[in-house]
């Protein structure tokens, strides 16, 4: 194995300069050795390392375990490293010994085809992800880790670096990992999405996967695909319907329930989720008679969508508005205090959640309304406390909060961690005045036994849009739900 | 006596006073329990006030509230009156100052005083009849601003205040009300409590209603506003001044004007 520069006459100092200037990229193994030597020296800056001619005799040393961490740090700190694959192939110990966070940072800094090696040590981590509840897993997807799916045979970890999708597929039985890169990974992902949509398609519910395509979007369904140009998407964003003969218009007339698929790569905030959310919100805005859902598809999708579609507020007591105790410092722009008397006068329940609220004997099949004027950690604390107290379980939740990553996470938790049937989520910012107006409309019409289509109408009348989110309960949540009974 | 046709039909009619209280002398009138009873002076707080909606006033002036006035999406702006009547029953003591304290009680609901009338910056001296006037621009958001120069015609009067279209500002109407003294102090903007003090100029501060107004922002559908009021008087007999203060009195203001 050749570990020296090809030009023997090049001094280490000059060589180091060339490497640091990015002129020498061909002598990668020598550079690796240089980095290794440099890391052994304990010096922190390459400008100083360039003078370390004296280290040349140490180049043939096999790295000791103790120094691997230093090498890793050197690799991470140098974004121009192009030889990490070689490093990791030469010294697999690197991949095994670095910490999880270092692995992610390294993976983010390295060329695409080396990532899987960097996370090989994370085969164990993949198994940990598999065992986690859905809501918790979403919080773990960071750095290059984009999404996760699992089946009875495999666990699939999706990653992305340098705009290339990678799929690390771990076989459950053998524990062996296989890396699919680029087109291969993309094809596998698309096949997974197609299979999910075909599997869970249900009469009356149009399941659709929204993908950004050249010049617009592609909406993939079980039996067809619809192309949406950017100008058509812009039209939807303005709340304007597409022509009646447009494929999407025809589909929405045929199937008034439109379920946008939350595929595995939407588990974390990113362009996939943003694209799908936008199309879902805009379709709902432009076709108010259509019921738009977002879901990651399961055998419960149809049932939950049906529950939302048929939900009727038979009595004012079927509506509960959760009020945060002052100690949560949740900012709701004083809406609730201003209109509580009005709401109570029509029989709507307003219940206060305290920081130590015990598990309450909360009714089932109710519309639970949560308000917020500002999305922050205090709101999250309040929502989680209400969830722990059982307010969301088997109820439908209208979450009146502006769109944000935390909102998405809380909606996800309300559905998966706390067992809500579905949760209403808004598009964009929602002014307090409009939320107040929506609640007062509900109060005004409560005697007419409004449905959730009426709720949607109130929202649209205020110029806002939102969709119902349903989320899959994975095995972990199902077990927890069964235990709670 | 009643005459009908050729026959004379004589009918005796017993006349009843439409407002019995008007048939009595002021000293004998029943104003309910007085806030202050000194023996020489009786002070009563008007306990049935009715507020005026600024939105309704602007509508009567033919001005729609522009959409950019965000305030109206959640709130309503009310002109809330606070009135005190001061009667001298006997003696020759003079009222040298009157103070009116108001606390607007609205629980945890929104309640914020936006402006106060009268206030010193709106007092205009030199009226033709030698009196004083409190006038200015009233914005649809309830804020008041002094206005210079002559005002246009008053379009209508409501509860003692004249309202007209303002020439100086697009979004406002002007208001105009008479005041008995130019020496006015008013504080409380931005709070839920306000206080006025009137010091005597030439005209007596008794034998009349002392009227103050606060523009207050309240939740949109509110029907009534709870208030607590207290009055104090400074009386002077010869060279001696004495201060008299009423207890707090709870009243309810109807938000229906």
User: Looking at A8-17, A66-75, A224-233, A424-433, which range is the least confident one?
Assistant: A8-17
Question: Distance between CA atoms of A452 and A368, rounded to whole angstroms?
Answer: 12
Average pLDDT over residues A213-238: 92
Cβ of B110 and A337 within 8 Å? Answer: yes
User: Looking at A250-259, B140-149, B188-197, which range is the least confident one?
Assistant: B140-149
**Which residue of A337, A433, A437 is in closest CB contact with B109?**
A337
**Which residue of B74, B107, B109 is in closest CB contact with A433?**
B74
Average pLDDT over residues A208-221: 90
pLDDT for A123 equals 58
| CA-angle at A251, arms to A247 and A254, nearest 5° | 140
Question: Which tokens is A5 given?
Answer: 């520069």
Query: Cα dihedral sign for A260, A264, A268, A269?
Result: negative
Mutation to test the A interface, candidates B219, B223, B225, B255, most A Cβ within 10 Å: B219
Higher pLDDT, A180 or A207: A207
Phi–psi pair at A21, nearest 5 degrees: -85, -5
| CA-angle at B114, arms to B112 and B119, nearest 5° | 130
Confidence label for B105 from pLDDT (cuts 50, 70 and 90): very high
User: Looking at A42-46, A241-245, B45-49, B219-223, which range is the least confident one?
Assistant: A42-46
Three-state secondary structure of chain A? CCCCCCCCCCCHHHHHHHHHCCCCCCCHHHHHHHHHHHHHHCCCCHHHHCCCHHHHHHHHCCCCHHHHHHHHHHHHHCCCCCCHHHHHHHCHHHHHHCCHHHHHHHHHHCCHHHHHHHCHHHHHHHHHHHHCCHHHHHHHCCCCEEEEEECCCEEEEEEEECCEEEEEEEECCCCCEEEEECHHHHHHHHHHHHHHHHHHCECCEEEEEEEEECCEEEEEECCCEEEEEHHHHHHHHCCCCCCCCCHHHHHHHHCCEEEEECCHHHCCCCHHHHHHHHHHHHHHHHCCCCEEEEECCCCCHHHHHHHHHHCECCCHHHEEEEEECHHHCCCCCCHHHHHHHHHHHCCCEEEEECCCCCCCCCCCCCEEEEECCCCCHHHHHHHHHHHHCCCCCCCEEEEECCCCHHHHHHHHHHHHCCCCCEEEEECCCCCHHHHHHHHHHHHHHHHHCCEHHHHHHHHHHCCCCEEEECCCCCHHHHHHHHHHC
Pick the CATH number of A191-295 from 3.30.420, 1.20.120, 3.40.50, 3.40.720: 3.30.420
Question: Which tokens is A427 given?
Answer: 């598009």
Q: Yes or no: say if A15 and A30 are a contact pair by the CB < 8 Å rule.
A: yes
The pTM score is: 0.71
Phi–psi pair at B97, nearest 5 degrees: -155, 150
Higher pLDDT, A425 or B140: A425
pLDDT for A232 equals 95
Cβ of A433 and B73 within 8 Å? Answer: yes
Query: Which residue is listed with tokens 């903007």?
Result: B189
Question: Distance between CA atoms of A131 and A29, rounded to whole angstroms?
Answer: 39
Query: Which residue is listed with tokens 């033919």?
Result: B62
pLDDT for B150 equals 61
Average pLDDT over residues A79-83: 38
CA-nearest residue to A437 within chain B is B74
Higher pLDDT, A33 or A252: A252
Cβ of B109 and A434 within 8 Å? Answer: no
pLDDT beyond 50 at A40? no
C-alpha closest to that of A252 among A236, A229, A274: A236
pLDDT for A472 equals 54
Q: What is the ipTM of this complex?
A: 0.71
User: CA of A336, closest CA in chain B: separation in Å?
Assistant: 9
Residues 6+ apart with CB under 8 A from A471: A134, A262, A295, A296, A412, A415, A416
CA-nearest residue to B217 within chain A is A338
CA-nearest residue to A340 within chain B is B109
**With contacts defined as CB-CB under 8 Å, which chain A residues touch B109?**
334, 337-338, 341
pLDDT beyond 80 at B201? yes
Question: Distance between CA atoms of B212 and B196, rounded to whole angstroms?
Answer: 8
| CA-angle at B142, arms to B140 and B146, nearest 5° | 95
Question: Distance between CA atoms of B165 and A61, rounded to whole angstroms?
Answer: 93
Cβ of B73 and A437 within 8 Å? Answer: yes
pLDDT beyond 90 at A45? no
Cα-based distances in Å from A120 to A63, A176, A179: 20, 10, 10
Confidence label for A65 from pLDDT (cuts 50, 70 and 90): very low
Query: Which residue is listed with tokens 């008087």?
Result: B233
Q: Domain residues of chain A, as ranges?
A: 12-98, 122-181, 191-295, 310-484
User: Looking at A291-300, A389-398, A449-458, which range is the least confident one?
Assistant: A291-300
Class of domain A310-484: alpha beta
Cβ of B221 and A434 within 8 Å? Answer: no
**Which residue of B74, B109, B220 is in closest CB contact with A432?**
B74
User: Looking at A37-46, A278-287, B224-233, which range is the least confident one?
Assistant: A37-46
Question: Distance between CA atoms of A232 and A245, rounded to whole angstroms?
Answer: 13
C-alpha closest to that of A472 among A53, A134, A55: A134
pLDDT for B169 equals 56
CA dihedral A337, A339, A344, A347 (to 10 degrees): -140
Question: Distance between CA atoms of B30 and B145, rounded to whole angstroms?
Answer: 39
Residues of A with CB under 8 A from a CB of B: 334-335, 337-339, 341-342, 431-434, 436-437, 440
Domains of chain B: 32-254 (2.70.240)
Average pLDDT over residues A254-264: 86
Cβ of A334 and B110 within 8 Å? Answer: yes
User: Looking at A209-213, A281-285, A378-382, A470-474, which range is the least confident one?
Assistant: A470-474
Model confidence pLDDT, tens digit, residues A306-344:
888 888 898 898 899 998 888 888 888 888 889 988 889
Looking at chain A, the whole-number percentage of residues with pLDDT higher than 90 is: 23
Residues 6+ apart with CB under 8 A from A132: A140, A476
pLDDT for B2 equals 39
pLDDT for A263 equals 86
pLDDT for B129 equals 58
pLDDT for A82 equals 37
**With contacts defined as CB-CB under 8 Å, which chain B residues touch A436?**
73-74, 220
- Residue B151, helix vs strand vs coil: coil
pLDDT beyond 60 at A43? no
pLDDT beyond 50 at A206? yes
Question: Distance between CA atoms of A367 and A391, rounded to whole angstroms?
Answer: 10
**Which residue of A338, A433, A440 is in closest CB contact with B109?**
A338
| Backbone angle region of B54, left / alpha / beta, with phi > 0 → left and psi within -120 to 50 → alpha | alpha
């Amino acid at each position: 194995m050749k570990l020296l520069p090809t030009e023997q006459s090049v001094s280490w100092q000059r060589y180091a300069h060339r490497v640091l200037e990015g002129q020498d990229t061909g002598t990668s193994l020598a550079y690796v050795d240089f980095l290794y030597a440099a890391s052994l020296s304990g010096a922190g800056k390459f400008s100083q390392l360039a003078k370390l001619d004296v280290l040349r005799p140490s180049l043939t040393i096999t790295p000791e375990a103790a120094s691997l961490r230093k090498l890793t740090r050197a690799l991470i700190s140098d974004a121009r490293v192009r030889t990490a694959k070689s490093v990791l192939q030469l010294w697999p110990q690197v991949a095994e010994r670095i910490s999880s966070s270092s692995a992610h940072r390294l993976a983010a800094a390295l060329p695409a085809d080396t990532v899987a090696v960097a996370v090989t040590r994370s085969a164990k981590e993949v198994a940990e992800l598999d065992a986690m509840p859905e809501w918790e897993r979403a919080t773990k997807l960071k750095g290059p880790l984009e999404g996760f799916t699992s089946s009875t045979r495999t666990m699939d970890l999706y990653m992305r670096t340098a705009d290339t999708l990678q799929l690390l597929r771990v076989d459950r039985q053998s524990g062996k990992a296989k890396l699919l890169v680029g087109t291969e990974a993309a094809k596998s992902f698309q096949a997974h999405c197609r299979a999910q949509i075909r599997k869970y398609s249900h009469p009356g519910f149009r399941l659709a996967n929204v993908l950004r395509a050249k010049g617009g979007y592609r909406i993939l369904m079980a039996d067809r695909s619809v192309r949406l140009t950017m100008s058509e998407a812009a039209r939807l964003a303005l709340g304007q319907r597409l022509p009646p003969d447009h494929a999407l218009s025809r589909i929405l007339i045929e199937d008034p329930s439109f379920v946008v698929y939350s595929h595995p790569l939407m588990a974390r905030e990113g362009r996939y989720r943003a694209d799908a959310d936008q199309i879902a919100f805009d379709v709902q805005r432009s076709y108010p008679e259509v019921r738009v859902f977002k879901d990651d598809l399961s055998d419960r999708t149809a049932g939950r969508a049906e529950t939302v579609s048929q939900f009727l507020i038979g009595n004012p007591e079927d509506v509960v508005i959760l009020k945060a105790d002052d100690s949560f410092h949740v900012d709701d722009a004083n809406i609730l205090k201003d209109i509580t008397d009005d709401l109570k006068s029509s029989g709507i329940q307003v219940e206060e959640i305290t920081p130590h609220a015990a598990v309450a004997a909360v009714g089932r099949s109710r519309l639970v309304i949560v308000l917020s004027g500002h999305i922050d950690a205090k709101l999250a604390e309040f929502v989680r406390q209400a969830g722990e107290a059982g307010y969301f379980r088997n109820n439908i939740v209208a979450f009146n909060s502006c769109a944000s990553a935390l909102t998405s996470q809380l909606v996800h938790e309300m559905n998966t961690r706390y067992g809500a049937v579905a949760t209403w989520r808004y598009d964009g910012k929602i002014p307090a005045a409009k939320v107040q107006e929506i609640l007062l409309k509900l109060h005004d019409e409560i005697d007419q036994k409004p449905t959730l289509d009426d709720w949607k109408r109130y929202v649209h009348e205020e110029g806002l849009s939102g969709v119902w989110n349903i989320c899959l309960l994975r095995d972990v949540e199902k077990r927890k739900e069964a235990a709670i009974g | 006596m009643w005459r009908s046709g050729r026959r004379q039909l004589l009918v005796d009619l017993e006349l009843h006073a439409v407002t019995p209280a008007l048939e009595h002398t002021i000293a004998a009138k029943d104003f309910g329990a007085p806030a202050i009873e000194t023996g020489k002076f009786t002070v009563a707080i008007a306990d049935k006030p009715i507020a005026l909606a600024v939105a309704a006033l602007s509508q009567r002036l033919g001005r729609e509230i522009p959409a950019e006035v965000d305030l109206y999406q959640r709130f309503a702006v009310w002109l809330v009156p606070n009135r005190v009547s001061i009667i001298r029953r006997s003696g020759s003591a003079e009222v040298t100052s009157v103070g009116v304290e108001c606390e607007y009680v609205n629980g945890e609901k929104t309640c914020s005083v936006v402006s106060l009338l009268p206030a010193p910056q709106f007092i205009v001296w030199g009226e033709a009849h030698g009196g004083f006037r409190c006038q200015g621009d009233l914005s649809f958001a309830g804020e008041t601003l002094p206005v210079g120069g002559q005002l246009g015609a008053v379009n209508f009067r409501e509860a003692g205040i004249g309202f007209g279209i303002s020439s100086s500002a697009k979004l406002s109407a002007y208001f105009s009300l008479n005041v008995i003294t130019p020496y006015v102090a008013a504080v409380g903007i931005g709070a839920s409590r306000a206080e006025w003090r009137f010091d005597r100029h030439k005209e007596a501060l008794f034998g009349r209603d002392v009227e103050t107004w606060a523009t207050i922002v309240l939740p949109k559908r509110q029907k009534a506003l709870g208030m607590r009021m207290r009055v104090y008087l400074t009386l002077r007999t010869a060279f001696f001044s004495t201060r008299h203060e009423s207890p707090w009195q709870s009243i309810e203001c109807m938000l229906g004007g």
